[in-house]
Amino acid sequence: MGKMTSVCLLVSTVMLLVTFGKGMSVMRGGDPATHFTWALLTLIVALGANMFAIFHATQSDRIIRGLRGELEKRAGSDV
């Protein structure tokens, strides 16, 4: 799961750089529609990556809580 979160982050970062390049080309007379398209796609991919990261963090938190509970049970039974 951590690898997928990293891939999503990498893809959104690359898209952000492309969007920046498209924005710079608009300043030199390029097509604004391509910049807006890339900006919208970058926003969607970045939000998707953030949602995936949040899902991953909540799942990891759930696993950690379960492991702590199991450790407390074992520590209580050893006494």
**pLDDT given for residue 79 in this prediction:** 55
| Residue in the structure block whose two tokens are 């949602």 | 51
Does the pLDDT at position 78 exceed 80? no
pLDDT in tens, 24-65: 988 888 889 988 998 899 899 888 888 888 888 888 888 888
pLDDT in tens, 53-62: 888 888 888 8
Give the H or E element holding residue 15: helix 2-27
Short-list 59, 62, 50, 65, CA closest to 5: 50
From residue 40, alpha-carbon distances to 3, 6, 55, 61, 77 in Å are 25, 21, 23, 32, 56
The pTM of the full predicted model, rounded to 2 decimals, is 0.66
